Copies of this chain bind each other. A is one copy, B any other.
């Protein structure tokens, strides 16, 4: 089953817009066991678009076209689709009413040029877009079935998941469900995780489960993809492999599926009615901004102080500036906790080489203060200033997660010099 994708639009072709729609569509198809063999990007030009449709129509089974369904004259997908399919455009009353209703619900009149969005090639199958005025549709051109989708990311994403993927799976003869399971880890490199997980796929029969990785430093995503006759079978097939992965990656797993490291921390704090305050040097505020993002109005993350260097941090928190850095980290965690009247104080001091006399390049000092005292972790993260900063921020949050879950705060990672 040969699937191609055609992206249209001057914005994408000229590089003004980075083509994240394509990468999303391709990734999603892969996640359900389908794959794309060819992608084409062309501009808002009738001749080129027609050529692209004709080439794909001659060799593909399915083509997903993205973009060109808008109300303006440079949106050409319907008209070129009709020409390539050798049919006329016709008004779809049911979609025109949808557009009018869409505007009515917003207390506005439909602008006349939106009528164009209800003009589809004759005989086209309507593909519902529940959140926009661009109408998706499917039509046969040459030997291929073409699915037309709008360029608005949230619209195409929803149509892909709800309308197009089910049709493709059904047409592929794969009358089955696909389930994706994801683990997010920190501290083990991709090849080390690959080694550790050697053979886990064999725990499921018939090669039903596919293992994959996506590294985005400092985190690594481990993915399991299973296809089964129904959801219950899929879950049952995954179960022993999931358990094995949890056992083999152990404490390095930060969270699963859509969860985030900072979300896990805040959820745990919420559950125990805890609060947190943060002191940072050399992080560019990365720990505080991630916690603030995940806090989302819960007010668990109380305050963050970001200082230019350790001396300034000492001044902010009324600490002895003469202390060495590890001691200062511990004192800072304790002080910021006390001043914020929080249950936890988290301090992270990163020496990125900007002030090598005080903190060596790559050095990260982390301390967590609570009612039970202070826990510390130091590391020398290799790979340059940017990796030290990103890795140090991640490590600080990971230490906090470990501490909150009663796990050892200090476990060696692949990115540090030991």
Contact with B along A19-38 (1 / 0, CB 8 A): 11011111110100001111
Contact with B along A289-304 (1 / 0, CB 8 A): 1001101110101111
Q: How far is the CA of A15 from the CA of B160 in the complex (A)?
A: 15
What would 8 more interface pairs be, CB under 8 Å, given A38-B52, A304-B305?
A: A22-B41, A37-B42, A37-B48, A285-B288, A289-B306, A297-B354, A297-B355, A302-B312
Contact partner of A305 (CB less than 8 A), chosen from B48, B296, B305, B355, is B305
Instruction: Judge whether A233 is part of the interface by a CB distance below 8 angstroms.
Output: no
Contact partner of A55 (CB less than 8 A), chosen from B55, B305, B306, is B55
A19-B18 in contact (CB<8A) = yes
Q: How far is the CA of A30 from the CA of B12 in the complex (A)?
A: 12
Interface range, A side? 35 or more
Instruction: Judge whether A260 is part of the interface by a CB distance below 8 angstroms.
Output: no
| A23 / chain B contacts, CB cutoff of 8 Å | 12, 15-19
Main secondary structure of the interface of A (DSSP, over half): mixed
Q: How far is the CA of A14 from the CA of B340 in the complex (A)?
A: 47
* Closest Cβ neighbor of A303 among chain B residues: B307
B309-A299 in contact (CB<8A) = yes
Instruction: Judge whether A72 is part of the interface by a CB distance below 8 angstroms.
Output: no
| A303 / chain B contacts, CB cutoff of 8 Å | 305-308, 312, 316
* Interface hub of A17, A30, A41 (most chain B Cβ within 10 A): A41
Q: How far is the CA of A24 from the CA of B299 in the complex (A)?
A: 41
Q: Which residues 256-297 of A have a CB within 8 angstroms of B?
A: 284-286, 288-289, 292-293, 295-297
Q: A-side interface residues toward B, CB under 8 Å? A: 12-20, 22-28, 30, 35-43, 45, 48, 52, 55, 214, 284-286, 288-289, 292-293, 295-297, 299, 301-309, 312, 315-316, 339-340, 354-355
* Closest Cβ neighbor of A352 among chain B residues: B297
Contact partner of A299 (CB less than 8 A), chosen from B13, B16, B27, B308, is B308
| A30 / chain B contacts, CB cutoff of 8 Å | 14-15
A41-B39 in contact given A285-B304, A303-B312, A306-B292 (Cβ < 8 Å):
yes
Q: Could you jot down 9 A-B contacts, CB within 8 Å?
A: A15-B24, A19-B23, A37-B45, A38-B42, A285-B304, A289-B289, A289-B306, A295-B308, A303-B305
Contact partner of A339 (CB less than 8 A), chosen from B24, B302, B316, is B316
B38-A41 in contact (CB<8A) = yes
Across chains A and B, which 7 residue pairs bring their CB atoms closest together, nearest first? Answer: A15-B26, A15-B27, A297-B354, A15-B23, A39-B41, A285-B289, A304-B306
A292-B285 in contact (CB<8A) = yes
* Closest Cβ neighbor of A295 among chain B residues: B308
Q: Give chain B nearest CB distance to A28 CB in angstroms.
A: 8
A20-B18 in contact (CB<8A) = yes
A25-B15 in contact given A285-B288, A306-B292 (Cβ < 8 Å):
yes
| A304 / chain B contacts, CB cutoff of 8 Å | 285, 304-307
Q: How far is the CA of A165 from the CA of B293 in the complex (A)?
A: 42
A13-B26 in contact given A295-B308, A299-B308, A303-B305 (Cβ < 8 Å):
yes
Q: How far is the CA of A19 from the CA of B24 in the complex (A)?
A: 11
| A25 / chain B contacts, CB cutoff of 8 Å | 15
| A301 / chain B contacts, CB cutoff of 8 Å | 308
Q: Give chain B nearest CB distance to A143 CB in angstroms.
A: 16
| A297 / chain B contacts, CB cutoff of 8 Å | 354-355
A14-B27 in contact (CB<8A) = yes
| A38 / chain B contacts, CB cutoff of 8 Å | 40-42, 48, 52
Q: Give chain B nearest CB distance to A171 CB in angstroms.
A: 21
* Interface hub of A26, A299, A302, A304 (most chain B Cβ within 10 A): A304
| A293 / chain B contacts, CB cutoff of 8 Å | 284
| A286 / chain B contacts, CB cutoff of 8 Å | 289
B48-A35 in contact (CB<8A) = no
| A299 / chain B contacts, CB cutoff of 8 Å | 308-309
